[in-house]
Amino acid sequence: MRTSRVSRETARLVDALTPTASGGGSLRRSLRGLRHTDSSAENSTQRPSDSGSELSTPPSSPDSTASDFDAGASLGKRKRRAAATTSTTESKTTTPRRTPRKAPKLEEQDEGEKKFKKGRRQPAKHIKGPNGELQSEPPANWEKMYSITAEMRKRVLAPVDTMGCESLAEEQRSPLDRRLQTLIALMLSSQTKDTVTAVAMKNLQDNLPGGFNLAALLTVEPERLNELIGKVGFHNNKTKYIKQVAPILRDKFGGDIPDTIEGLTSLPGVGPKMAYLCMSAGWGRDEGIGVDVHVHRITNLWGWHKTSTPEQTRMELESWLPKEKWHDINHLLVGFGQTICLPVGRKCGECDLSGTGLCPSAVKSSPVKKKVKKMEVEVDNGEVKKEDIKIENDDVGIKVEADIEGEGKVELQSIAGAPLSGEDSKTS
């Protein structure tokens, strides 16, 4: 007589759970046999859900115990947990990994637009020579950067070109008086613009009794001297320094300025920058580089070195810069810093170094947009049509042009510094 698979497994479970005369040992052996039978059934062609569902059902026999059912239930839980782990592992292995998105290329530009490149810092290198002495290798491409900057300086006139301390001494004076005036101009220029320094020097030259010489500095009252130089920065301190320097020059240096760096820096109010510039302009000897805020700032922006003080910058530059350029680099970079590479709002769009990949601090700037509008303007020989008038308004100012019959394009008005108002819409 054939019986179903479910009936056979139910009978086997009842036999295993029925207590015998030998006690619990027979029950444990029967349970071990049941586990062996279940594992064999799992490896057969039967579905796992058939046997698992039967084992997880509570027994209906009144003679079964709770512990026996817990043993069968835990066995079913382990099978389900193993099956869940296997399915999770398979899902992890079959899930494709997402490929990272590529950043969009930024090099695509319109035709005719200048490709912007930003250089990288390549400072001077300090290496030990064959004798163990420290030698300096100059920064890469420094000569090219120097020559490009020199060409730019030829096209733009800076305040230092006409009002620098080296050009403020009176030419008709004796060499001794010119050297004195150069020293005083350098003392006044500290933290002061060249335009203000030039005005103060002119006041001294025009108002000191007997002219601008050592005797006049010795006799002038401090209050009067302070009044003449009152526009320069820290004029109270500078008045005190000048009155202290005058007797030192008379007593220790024979009425002239010192001809050594040690002598110049020993004077009150005279630092290394002033001393090196004074030696170059007054005595014609280049014994060091005069590093002011412009030279210190720009050479750090160029990546030639990384220094925190002008004195550190001077030592770095002197370690590799050819001596024939020690005098010119101050004038070159001061004018460059006054016109293009400003302390605030650098004009990288007007700098020839921008876009060449030489300057690591270059920033891309958008060109200034001009506002163009049309308006009616009355002239002496009749009224000009509205469509013939063009007004350009930019950061420099405004310019009004018109095409007048018989005369061609004529500039009617040009105002610098501010745009036209509505009341200025007519000129004659």
Does an H or E element contain 414, and which?
A: strand 408-416
128 is catalytic: no
DSSP 8-state symbol, 102: P
Q: Looking at 273, 369, 370, 409, which residue is catalytic?
A: 273
> How far is 305 from 360, CA to CA, in rounded Å?
12
Query: Could you give the angle at which helices 326-339 and 272-283 cross, rounded to 10 degrees?
Result: 110
Give the span between the Cα atoms of 176 and 302, in whole angstroms: 39
Cα–Cα dist 95/187, whole Å:
76
Phi, psi of 257 (to 5 degrees): -85, 155
* 69 to 65, 73, 136, 327: CA distances (angstroms): 7, 6, 87, 101
**CA contacts within 13 A on the Cβ side of 154:** 5
**Cα distance between residue 32 and residue 10, in whole Å:** 16
Scanning 156-233, the segments in alpha helix (DSSP H) are 159-163, 175-188, 194-207, 214-219, 222-228
Q: Report which of 376, 370, 369 is spatially closest to residue 412, judged by C-alpha positions.
A: 376
Q: Among all residues, which ones are annotated catalytic?
A: 273
